[in-house]
Amino acid sequence: MKSTPAPPLRSVRLLDQLRERVRYRHYSLATERSYVYWARSFIRFHGLRHPRDMGAAEVAAYLSHLATVRGASASTHKQALAALLFLYKRVLDIDLPWMQEIGRPRTPVRLPVVLSQAEVGRLLAAVDGVAGLILKLLYGTGMRKMECLRLRIKDLDFDRRLIVVREGKGNKDRVVMLPEALLPALREQVARARALWTADRKAERPGVELPGGLVHKYPRAGEAWSWFWVFPADHESVDPRSGVRRRHHQHEDAIHRCLRRAGNLADIAKPLRTHVLRHSFATHLLERGQDIRTIQELLGHAHVDTTMIYTHVLNRGVRGVASPLDALPTGLPPGPLQCGEAIATYVLAVRPSLGGPRHEPGAALA
């Protein structure tokens, strides 16, 4: 079945046309900024030539520059290639059979960073306030960072102890648990959000941002309490797409800063990102015997293979195997013994078990 052709472009400038196509396909703002960045970088690398006048050789040269000169990772390499592919195929409407010939690096498989339960306890104890509540929700529910920040009042179900995650990765909805331990703090946060919502309504400020085309279908819905943010910002900001000045949700950078400070206070040497709490959530559920399918649903993974990575992190098989070093009769020498003394001590301990004659320490090396 042939796909419906996209409408004609209304913008004149190339990067504006790229933004127009990204928004037409309902990609996120982060994807839009990424694609614009790589398209601009590609054009500047080739001396401001128009991409329509370039082809496979220029794309390959740019990607080679990223890998060899800038030392870009495999994921960065793929992201740049995806942006250029979108630019040629969706914006310039140019067939790209040569794109299949461009080498794509293999992304290495990395084990996720996981905190122990003791480390999580120290980390969460080191941060309080709204940021602390958000970090506790990330660990207690397994939500992604932006899924948590974009929560609306209507997504909280206190009676059934559930949280509805809207438009998660892959534009899918799912349901996660609402931790009992966070009920009082969440109710207080909703009360604070209510006060900000009331102030906005009295000041007749614009309503919050709505997903998709709801703003055209229900123009006043953005002013409704049910659509207000659970974690609203304490100030207004300009919507980068519409240009409307309105109240947005908490900014992700503030959460990252609080996480780094908490990690320093908790003396955690592991690299910390908000996603580490999601990894720890899944691993600790596995340690408690939760089945992998349920964890897959809670995390919102499309395929169980993605969730299976946490079984490798858990790795009960390796943890149950003792190192042969720990099985040595005398263990490690307690101090800086001379080489001859160490070997002689080991021979004395092992020789009887082998059934051979015993020797004095001095004769062991004779």
d(CA 365, CA 222): 86
Check if 301 is active-site.
Answer: yes
State in Å, rounded, how far the first CA of the chain is from the last one. 85
21 membership: H or E segment, kind and range:
helix 14-24
CA 43 to chain centre: 29
Check if 169 is active-site.
Answer: yes
d(CA 33, CA 242): 15
Q: Annotated catalytic residue: which of 275, 293, 312, 358?
A: 275
What six digits make up the tokens of 232? 């609203």
What six digits make up the tokens of 306? 């993605």
In the three-class reduction of DSSP (H, G, I as helix; E, B as strand; rest coil), residue 171 is classed as coil
Instruction: Look up residue 247 and give its DSSP letter.
Output: E
What six digits make up the tokens of 125? 């104890």
Check if 27 is active-site.
Answer: no
Strands lying side by side in the sheet with 162-165: 156-157, 162-165, 174-177
Check if 275 is active-site.
Answer: yes
Partners of 176 in the beta sheet?
163
d(CA 8, CA 316): 57
* 307 within 8 A of 295, measured Cβ to Cβ: yes
Q: Annotated catalytic residue: which of 145, 247, 278, 284?
A: 278
Query: Nearest 5 degrees, angle CA 171-CA 172-CA 175?
Result: 145
* Residue in 243, 276, 241 with CA at minimum distance from that of residue 124: 276
Torsion of CA 234, 240, 243, 249, to 10 degrees: -20
Q: Annotated catalytic residue: which of 169, 174, 194, 201?
A: 169
Q: Annotated catalytic residue: which of 144, 150, 247, 284?
A: 144
Check if 310 is active-site.
Answer: yes
* 135 within 8 A of 115, measured Cβ to Cβ: no
Query: Residue holding tokens 């009295």?
Result: 202
As annotated, the active-site residues are: 144, 169, 275, 278, 301, 310
